[in-house]
Amino acid sequence: MSPLDQLPRGRPGRGLRRSRRPGVTPDAGIRRRPGQVLVGSFAAAIAVGTLLLLLPVSSAGRGATVLEALFTATSAVCVTGLVVVDTATFWTPFGQAVVMLLFQVGGFGIMTLASLLGLLLSRRLGLRSRLVGASATSTVSLGDLRRVLLGIGTVTVVVEGTTAAVLAARFVHTYGEPVGRAAWLGLFHAVSAFNNAGFALYTDNLMGFVTDPWVCLPIAAAVVVGGIGFPVLLEVWRSPRRPRAWSLHTKISVMMTAVLITAGTVFMTLAEWSNPATLGPLDVRGKVLAGFFQGVSPRTAGFNSIDIAQMDSATWLGSDVLMFIGGGSGGTAGGIKITTFTVLLVVIWAELRGDPDATLFDRRIAVSAQRQALAVALLGVAAVLVSTIVIAMTSPFTSDQVLYEVVSAFATVGLSTGITAQLDSWHQVILCALMFVGRLGPVTLGTALALRSKQRLVRMPESAPIVG
């Protein structure tokens, strides 16, 4: 049951007024608002970020064009990491701070942030704020929202603070950075990692640290923690030694995160093991570390410690799969989400066995969840295929390069083969749209834009067409 379904249907309570429109239930208007507010807030944040990046103080040399500012703001708010200008050299420290603020707000969730601030200031949340916050955080129960919001704030501060401290210490003692500069580098990359943004203050991203575990591992850890989903983190924190007591969602998220990280690491390491332009020159330890980092990163992180443009085309295709699946629901990751992917796998397995129920961990998966997973996956495939075909037909780049770029945008990853800045302006606008849709989710966006929802009182007779 969604948070919106838990609204009272009898006598309206405090904060809930009867509708004056005949035939409309008191909560019908509120029921549709959280998704719309979420979409509008992300759009507003992108607009504000664009205006800030257009200020002369934001750019180091020439002023940014409207498209450059819009693309960067969209990429930051949608925690993607694709860029059309070099973050390290094009933007001033002020511009870089704006970018960091944008992906912090985008990753945390605009409505989540607003609800948390309201909670800290007033010590209580109104019904509307609870609905909006529940929509943003994928909270199961309205009663859990206060705990979830406080947990999100705590986890964010702890993970980003710890990661920033470790990185800053490494930059000072190993790379000779001044304390102030090291602290800024540590904070920027920690926030970028936890929010799965992938922005870096080095022109080559993190390629200069490919064999440094004190840089790659803390960033990878922050990526995993931020991408697995806040509800999962809180549930694991409450019952770390009782996995049997975890919800089905948490069990799926933990299991599939481990499976995909392992599979991604093995695939990346073996696929690029002998490539002289990527892992080839490294020793065994360096290859394993780089393979692990690149196995984690495509699951919406966007950092790269090896040259993506020099990877084999088969490796690109494998990365496309990892990017499209993405991370956990309710976190900073993108993609169709690992729960969606898992539900589809379970449904296929049940169909192959002739089982009328799709079950996992002794739980029957609701038909509504199956339909939602199918809708999210197919809408995602459609968005990726249409965009890839359009851009590939009107650009000089190969289809595998374009596909990589499009999947990276839709899944809000940020990895690139290096063609983003070379695309035509309207191609970049398409990528902006993909990042926006990919961050909010096709179903969420469609629901937010729908004028009204319908409930059928009469169902048609059932029939089964021939499939296959």
Tell me whether residue 107 is in a domain. yes
Tell me whether residue 126 is in a domain. yes
Q: Which residues contact 250 (CB under 8 A, 6 or more apart)?
A: 231, 232, 235, 236
Q: Give the pLDDT score at 95.
A: 96
Per-residue pLDDT for 1 more than 80?
no
| Band of pLDDT at residue 126, cut at 50, 70 and 90 | low
Q: Mean pLDDT across the stretch 161-166?
A: 97
Say how many domains are in the chain: 1
Q: Give the pLDDT score at 405.
A: 96
Q: Mean pLDDT across the stretch 401-426?
A: 94
Place of tokens 């696929």: 271
Please give the C-alpha separations between residue 309 and each of 204, 226, 316, 322, in angstroms, as whole numbers: 12, 27, 9, 17
Q: Mean pLDDT across the stretch 333-346?
A: 90
Tell me whether residue 187 is in a domain. yes
Tell me whether residue 465 is in a domain. no
Which tokens hold the place of 440?
Answer: 């909010």
Q: What is the pTM of this model?
A: 0.84
What SS3 state is found at 174?
coil
Per-residue pLDDT for 68 more than 70?
yes
Q: How far apart are CA 364 and CA 28, in angstroms?
A: 30
Tell me whether residue 2 is in a domain. no
Tell me whether residue 135 is in a domain. yes
Please give the C-alpha separations between residue 437 and each of 63, 238, 441, 448, in angstroms, as whole numbers: 28, 33, 6, 12
| Band of pLDDT at residue 27, cut at 50, 70 and 90 | very low
Per-residue pLDDT for 270 more than 50?
yes
Q: Mean pLDDT across the stretch 358-374?
A: 86
Task: Report yes or no: 298 and 413 within 8 Å, Cβ to Cβ.
Answer: yes
Per-residue pLDDT for 91 more than 50?
yes
442: containing domain:
26-449
Q: Mean pLDDT across the stretch 203-218?
A: 95
Tell me whether residue 6 is in a domain. no
Q: How far apart are CA 163 and CA 145, in angstroms?
A: 27
What letter would DSSP give residue 364? E
Per-residue pLDDT for 32 more than 50?
no
Q: Mean pLDDT across the stretch 256-272?
A: 95
| Percent above pLDDT 90 for the chain | 57
Tell me whether residue 52 is in a domain. yes
Which tokens hold the place of 239?
Answer: 């019952």
Q: How far apart are CA 244 and CA 363, in angstroms?
A: 12
Q: How far apart are CA 271 and CA 308, in angstroms?
A: 13
Q: How high is the mean pLDDT of the chain?
A: 83
Q: Mean pLDDT across the stretch 267-287?
A: 95
Which tokens hold the place of 428?
Answer: 């970049």
Q: Which residues contact 175 (CB under 8 A, 6 or more apart)?
A: 182
Q: Give the pLDDT score at 314.
A: 94
Mark 21-47 as b/e (b = at least 16 C-beta within 10 Å): eeeeebbeebbbbbbebbbebbeebbe
